Amino acid sequence: MAFHRAIEDLMREVTEKAILPRYRNLQAGEIEDKGGNDPVTVADRESEAILREGLEKIMPGLDFVGEEAAHADPDVMQHLSGDCWIVDPLDGTRNFAHGKPPFGVLLAMASGGEAHTGWIYDCLTGRFCVAHKGKGAFINGEKVTAITTGEDPPVAAISLIFMDEAKREAVKDHICPNYRLTDIPYCAAEQYPRLALGVNDLSIFERTLAWDHAAGVLWLNEAGGKAARPDGSPYRVDGDVHGGLIGAATPALWQDMAEQLASLPD
């Protein structure tokens, strides 16, 4: 489809022009901390600028919600309730700034607070994930159906970073022992594909910013896995950014994790 090809070409362009030339080549002053150990690099900003210009050519007039634009002006977030692009120009900045993978580019289109199309691009491998609501999930043009690791206990990547102390300790005591824990990639562009490709079975996210999760939630659900709020409600891009999220390779694995979270002691 020409539309998806144009998006892939644009994501490849920002990778080649703004991202890879600075991989393991960042200079002094090209990394900043936005606060709370949240780094941003010159590559993030240049990537977002190129994406904004390119997306305007692909679909003129659509509102643009980019991570860096929203950091500069929080009022940008108001566009998430309407028709908009949602852009993470360099997902996995922490990894990128330390000269290690994974990192990627995330794009989504949303309407009325719901993402209906999403793209995930792995900058180092060229893996291109696409999903459109009701039409399935694809990698490099091939339709994908989510599979589990087949391991017992299931493999889980549980992010504790943004949980309050009480919840963090409860999860560590009552949930973590039921799984084989694996690394957190600090990169949604990597974590969501892992949940469909038999690498991980489950993941818990506490902070759910739209640019991190819009494309991945849609893609995993279209692959036949399940990503939703712990209470079962659908993820909305204009919802609570601290509402929590469970991603799983199957609905059954999702349900089991949701029940465990619901039974945690207060």
79 Cβ neighbours under 8 A, 6+ residues apart: 63, 64, 65
Q: What is the CATH number of the domain that holds 200?
A: 3.40.190.80
Q: What is the DSSP string of 189-246?
A: HHHHHHHHBTS-SEEEES---HHHHHHHHHHHHHTT-EEE-TTSPPP-TTS-TTS-EE
How far apart are the C-alpha atoms of 108 and 36, rounded to whole Å? Answer: 26
pLDDT at 35 over 80: no
Distance (Å, whole) CA 121 – CA 71: 22
**Confidence band for 126, pLDDT divided at 50, 70 and 90:** very high
Q: What integer pLDDT is reported at residue 266 of this predicted model?
A: 75
Would you say residue 255 has pLDDT above 80? yes
Q: What is the pLDDT of residue 38?
A: 80
How does DSSP classify residue 154? P
- The better pLDDT of the pair 213, 160 is held by 213
The reply to whether 11 and 72 lie within a common domain is yes
Same domain for 87 and 57, yes or no, is: yes
Confidence class for position 1, pLDDT limits 50, 70, 90: confident
pLDDT at 37 over 80: no
pLDDT at 2: 86
Domain that holds residue 238: 155-262
Question: Do 21 and 56 fall within a single domain?
Answer: yes
**pLDDT of amino acid 28:** 82
pLDDT in tens, 49-87: 999 999 999 999 999 999 999 999 999 999 999 999 999
Taking alpha carbons only, the member of 53, 110, 131, 73 closest to residue 237 is 110
Indicate if the pLDDT at residue 142 is higher than 80. Answer: yes
Is residue 170 pLDDT above 90, yes or no? Answer: yes
Q: Which of 189, 230, 32 is nearest to 104 (CA)?
A: 189
The answer on 138 and 159 residing in a single domain is: no
pLDDT in tens, 174-198: 999 999 999 999 999 999 999 999 9
Looking at residue 29, its pLDDT comes to 87
pLDDT of 240 strictly over 80? yes
Q: Taking all residues of the chain, what is their mean pLDDT, rounded to a whole number? A: 96
CATH number, domain with residue 18: 3.30.540.10
DSSP for residue 59: S
Q: What is the pLDDT of residue 143?
A: 98
Helix axes 2-14, 42-58, angle to 10 degrees: 160
CA 11 to CA 21: how far, in whole Å?
15
Residue 174 lies in a domain: yes
Q: Do residues 178 and 101 both lie within one domain?
A: no
pLDDT at 63: 98
The residue written with tokens 């939630």 in the block is 217
Residue 177 CB neighbour total at 10 angstroms:
9
Structural domain total, the chain: 2
Residue 19 lies in a domain: yes
Report phi then psi at 34, rounded to 5. -75, -5
Q: State the Cα–Cα distance between residues 211 and 110, nearest whole angstrom.
A: 11
